[in-house]
Amino acid sequence: MLPEGISNLPIRQWTNKHENFTHNLVADTSFKLSNPSGQKHGDRYPKTTKNFQWLIQHAIDNNLKLRAMGSGWSFTKVGVTEGGLIDTASLNFSFPLTRRLVSINYTHTPDDLYFLQCGTLITEVNNRLDAKNPPRSIKASGASNGQTIAGALSTGTHGAAFEVGAIPDFVVGLHLITGPNSHIWLERSSHPVASQEFVDWLGADIVQDDDLFNAALVAFGSFGFIHGVMIETEPQFLLTEHRVGPMAYDDKLKHTMKTLDFSALPLPGVGQNGELYHFEVLFNIHDFEADNLAKGAFLKYMFKKPVVPHPPILRSNDFTYGDDLLGIISTVLDKVPGSGQLVPVLVNSMFKLAFKPQDPIQGTIKEIFNYTKFRGKVASAAMGIAITDVPKAVELIVAVNKQKPFSGGLSLRYVKGTKATLGFTKFAKTCVLEMDGVDGAKAREFYKAVWDAFEQQGISYTLHWGKINFNLNESRIKKMYGPNQVKSWIDARNQLLPIAVRRVFNNKFLEQCGLDKGQGAIV
């Protein structure tokens, strides 16, 4: 008989949201978790912790592998396992912290902190923070808001907030279920957030360690079950989004792209709409030519300022802010079934419509980043590079596209570097090269050719953990992050999880990357 709050999930196959793959599971090993009955979160949450522990013991006793299932947005098998999946979508309560639940050594105010259960969607976080008095906001967002908080931080979901960072960078505490009889509250020793009363309510052991915390931030579900997440928020702010283009790909634009020095670019809105917050450059690589205004780049940038009353955002039915190039490709597939081979031609005609200059729009993070639709089998690969390499990287991708045409386009998002040990936005100033298009063999050939070209040209890069990254292996991981970083991550996992528990949370992806080792020795 299963404990209250655990029910069987009768699935033997699972398909991700983007329909890139269908994964086989072991029969009768998947479960759905719900918070047990009770009037108060304070009573129900600890019972769910015990249910997570029951699942780990069940897996150990039956030699099973388990992983928590988020919203299924990853394009890769980073988060699945050769066993069963645990549906945590119902674990979605959240609450602000009162003074007594916050460490006396916390350097900000309790209003900055918000505690989330693992299955809480980003859209739910936005709605709940918006309803506070006064309203609050998360600090940055990916392009869409349908991910769970645990899934988003575990793969390094990012936006283009070049002074803020990715989602893991405003996470300040983790409640990890590390075994059938153990669970911990993990935070940085350099930035304590939780009081002993809060940790006692969890019933957890407190671990304050920067290295362990930084390793656990981006761990794609392999550090045990994440039950709770503490984030730092800020007062609600307003974003003013501008779109300009086409803009000639010339020395001025290249200088900006590799320095983030905006003084040479005539960006409307500078000095009027607050501080620059988001910077993005988009290219149609099928219709690109240096120094040619008509075949140049499109820019999308946003300014940030305190929130003021503003009209609602009116969006077109054809194109929204959304997933940028993924939105275009999805719209093509939706409107013209069977059009995969025509995408380069269609993108040429639709690109300028989707990114044509328009009047600026204003909205909060909740209003701007709200695209959650899916259409068709789209593909997305994302590479993190140092911004100094951007012009060389763009030109290399354009050259590869001439040899192996890609049914898609290229966008560049700028993100502040992360402290997460294996966060792919690892460069102090990171540019994320996003190559979005139609999935299939041709797209995979293009991606491989781009990765090979970068390695041949000596351009250091990382790959987004949640996007297409089939060339990852142990040697590449060590080259991308350095052997010391990889060792630190492996050692942290080994320190926090006993051998039997590590086996539960291993999967083929982890093994492929050499991250399942029993010790992190540099070899």
Contact yes or no for 266/248 (Cβ under 8 A): no
What is the rounded CA–CA span in Å between residue 211 and residue 419?
Answer: 10
Provide CATH 3.40.462.10 ranges for the chain: 237-472
* Cα 341 from Cα 351, distance rounded (Å): 17
Is the pTM here over 0.85, yes or no?
A: yes
Q: What percent of the chain is modeled with pLDDT above 70? A: 89
pLDDT of 335: 56
pLDDT in tens, 472-496: 999 999 999 999 999 999 999 999 9
Contact (CB, 8 A) for 232 and 225:
no
What pLDDT score does 349 carry?
62
Q: How confident is the model at residue 39 (pLDDT cuts 50, 70, 90)?
A: low
Is residue 452's pLDDT more than 70? Answer: yes
Please report, for residues 84, 90, 151, 221, the alpha-carbon distance to residue 8 in angstroms, rounded to integers and kept in the order given.
11, 14, 22, 21
User: d(Cα 81, Cα 77) in Å, to the nearest integer?
Assistant: 8
**pLDDT band for position 522 (50/70/90)?**
very low
At 323, the pLDDT band (50, 70, 90 cuts) reads very low
The pLDDT value recorded for residue 345 is 66
CATH 3.40.50.300: does it fit domain 6-235?
no
Q: Does pLDDT of 59 surpass 70?
A: yes
Of residues 313 and 85, the one with the higher pLDDT is 85
Q: What is the 3-state secondary structure (H, E, C) of 309-351?
A: CCCCCCCCCCCCCCCCHHHHHHHHHHHCCCCHHHHHHHHHHHH
* pLDDT per residue as tens digits for the range 369-381: 875 555 556 788 9
pLDDT, tens digit, 9 for 90 and up, residues 91-141: 999 999 999 999 999 999 999 999 999 999 999 999 999 999 999 999 999
Provide DSSP, 422-472. Answer: T-S--SSEEEEEEEEEE-SHHHHHHHHHHHHHHHHHT---EE-TTS--TT-
* C-beta of residue 304 within 8 angstroms of C-beta of residue 162: no
Provide the pLDDT for residue 518. Answer: 83
User: What is the arithmetic mean of pLDDT over 45-70?
Assistant: 96
pLDDT in tens, 269-308: 776 677 899 999 999 898 899 999 989 999 999 999 998 8
Read off the tokens for 61. 């006793």
CB-CB contact of 445 with 391 (8 Å): no
Answer whether 347's CB lies under 8 Å from 223's CB: no
Q: Where in the chain is the domain with CATH 3.30.465.10?
A: 6-235
Query: Is the Cβ–Cβ distance between 365 and 324 less than 8 Å?
Result: no
Q: Tell which phi-psi region holds residue 452, choosing left (phi > 0), alpha (psi between -120 and 50) or beta.
A: alpha
Measured between alpha carbons, how far is 66 from 59 in angstroms, rounded to an integer?
7
Q: Which one of 2.30.130.10, 3.40.30.10, 3.40.50.10190, 3.40.462.10 gives the CATH number of domain 237-472?
A: 3.40.462.10
Q: Is the pLDDT of residue 343 over 80?
A: no
Residues 6+ positions from 289 with CB-CB distance below 8 Å: 249, 295, 296
- What is the torsional sign of CA 355, 358, 360, 365? negative
Q: Specify the pLDDT at position 320.
A: 44
Amino acid sitting at position 302: M
**Tokens representing residue 297 in the block:** 């780049």
CA atoms of 27 and 313, how far apart (whole Å): 46
pLDDT in tens, 414-436: 999 999 999 999 999 999 999 98
